[in-house]
Amino acid sequence: MQTCKTKIMGVLNANEDSFFKESRFDIKEASFKIEKMIENGANIIDIGAVSSKPGSIEVDEKVELERLKNIVDTIYKERYFEKIDFSIDSYSPLVIDYVLNKGFKIVNDITGLANDEVCKISAKYNAKVIIMHMQNKPSNMQEKPEYKNVVLDIDEYFKKQIQKAKSFGIKDIALDVGIGFGKTLEHNLLLLNKLEYFKHFGYELLIGASRKSMIDMITPCEIKDRLPGTLAIHLESVNRGASIIRCHDVYEHYQALKVQEAINSIS
* Residues designated as active site: 212, 246
Please state the three-class secondary structure of 121-158 as a single string: HHHHCCCEEEEECCCCCCCCCCCCCCCCCHHHHHHHHH
What is the greatest pairwise CA distance in the chain? 53
d(CA 55, CA 36): 31
Contact 118, 96 (CB under 8 A): yes
d(CA 34, CA 55): 29
Give 193-217 as a DSSP string: HTGGGGGGG-SEEEE--TT-HHHHH
SS3 13: strand
146 forms beta bridges with none
Closest alpha carbon to 188 in 208, 170, 169: 208
β pairing state of 44-48 and 85-89: parallel
**Rounded alpha-carbon distances, angstroms, from residue 202 to 25, 162, 174, 205, 241:** 35, 11, 9, 9, 11
